[in-house]
A and B are shown apart, each in its own frame.
Chain A
């Protein structure tokens, strides 16, 4: 009797694991099949070199570059905000803050990531943009600057929390060795602890980038819907994710070439985040070996 129960439990646990894998494989398959039929009609070369993205207009162009630049621009702005702030927070919490303060503040910071991203998007559109317009008069109502800044605030906990874990995991003996030779706290933090935790910090940055690339609501609401190959943060742009939202919600006919563009865009996005996640996984594996 017991044997049968054990068998049933084991197999049901296994099947829930398999379901997850099956769903992931299914998603990738659908993406790949639809993207494949898209690329039968549009050459991959055009897809990556054409500088216009106008699949919904009469004069159609299928160049992913404008969407890609929109994604990279907002991501870059977000990281420029999140990296210095997140790293400063993590160094402060791990090297300076009293332990009790650290214990309170860390969960509070992680709350930042728990705010629904639609709230952030809304915030970017109706608070940050009007505020920035006071200083930058020619800032459009939709722009990558405020979307990027707000996205940066959202991903601060990704950087700060994971980096702090990495910094805190650096053996106490290394700090003592540094203090013991007459180093100040600042010197110890930057010359010993940060380098020793560098792989963990890099992982946190990569995961934050990956999160920013895939972020949808903020950019769909606040950055605009105009695919534009530009590095100017004050004008409306469109990111890959925002384009997918636009088409999914619009009245594009299922099965048409226009409809398939979102799979081509989706697989591009997927390849990016997949590569970043693989990279962070590799780095983390290497770093684990180093400390055990």
Chain B
């Protein structure tokens, strides 16, 4: 896959495109080619989720390609966040949670008994709805994931912190204030810090649960641009309430309704010519 916005291996950005250029680029070239060996990064088969007696997810099967952006859309309570949180087993903390079916990442069943949750979550990072930096310094926030892995090498940590902040497009704004509390940053900066914090652990999948819903339009645009560039190195799954956002940045879109996966296809297809009536009704704003 050749993209003009790939991030160099040294973590330095080598793009100068504006948002509008990115958008045109994307709509002109929606097809993605991937080698067959790594055709699917993440596969789910017949997944059901229950909270006590309530069934939150009904028989969802889906395959997600590596280094793509997949958007989950649907009305509130449709199960899209629940489904997203299955991939790093974040639902495990909810009492009465029960899951059936299979979820594989790189061909490993992540719900088998022996799975190391900590290992899984290093592989599958997550960015949350509300920016949630730790009440620590900017540096410590990004270094946290490395320190809990037991990495002590200060030089290595400093390098990875810088790299992650550069990748998250925050370095220039904070490089002189790394020891300041993360809580002094603006909402948009905090969210980019949370992305940097996730990137520092070097996951291969990043889950984003409505990452811009608490932000103003300018911060949102910045984060969308960032997400679009991260696609070069990461598989991204994003839950969003914002249909324009899904159509702007994603390659694939999944529409959920009442716990069911109604339609899953290329974003362009979903937004121009959906198969199902319900999808069309939702994206045209007739309900939801």
A98 to B96 alpha-carbon distance, docked (Å): 12
Q: A191-B144, A290-B135 are in contact. Are A179 and B121 (CB under 8 A)?
A: yes
Which residues of chain A from 153 to 206 have any CB-CB distance to chain B below 8 Å in the complex?
Answer: 171, 173-174, 176-184, 187, 191-192, 195-196
**B88:A180 contact, CB within 8 angstroms:** yes
Q: A99-B95, A182-B122, A196-B135 are in contact. Are A177 and B148 (CB under 8 A)?
A: no
- 0/1 interface trace, chain B 166-184, chain A, CB 8 Å (1 if under): 0000000000000000010
**B136:A181 contact, CB within 8 angstroms:** no
Candidates A98, A176, A180, A195; contact of B135 at CB < 8 Å? A195
Give the number of chain B interface residues (Cβ < 8 Å).
29
**B132:A176 contact, CB within 8 angstroms:** yes
- 0/1 interface trace, chain B 103-127, chain A, CB 8 Å (1 if under): 0000000000000011111100110
A173 to B130 alpha-carbon distance, docked (Å): 8
Which residues of chain A from 251 to 292 have any CB-CB distance to chain B below 8 Å in the complex?
Answer: 290
Residue B138 at the A interface, CB < 8 A? no
A98 to B133 alpha-carbon distance, docked (Å): 26
**A177:B118 contact, CB within 8 angstroms:** no
How distant is A228 from chain B, measured CB to nearest CB, in Å?
A: 45
**B198:A181 contact, CB within 8 angstroms:** yes
**B126:A180 contact, CB within 8 angstroms:** yes
Interface pairs (30), CB distance under 8 Å: A171-B132, A173-B128, A173-B130, A174-B134, A174-B135, A176-B128, A177-B128, A177-B132, A177-B133, A177-B134, A178-B144, A179-B90, A179-B93, A180-B125, A180-B126, A181-B145, A181-B148, A182-B118, A182-B119, A182-B120, A182-B121, A182-B148, A182-B149, A183-B144, A183-B148, A187-B148, A191-B144, A191-B147, A195-B135, A290-B135
Residues of chain A whose beta carbon lies under 8 Å from any beta carbon of chain B = 98-99, 171, 173-174, 176-184, 187, 191-192, 195-196, 290
Residues of chain B whose beta carbon lies under 8 Å from any beta carbon of chain A = 88, 90, 93, 95, 117-122, 125-126, 128, 130, 132-136, 144-145, 147-149, 183, 194, 197-198, 201
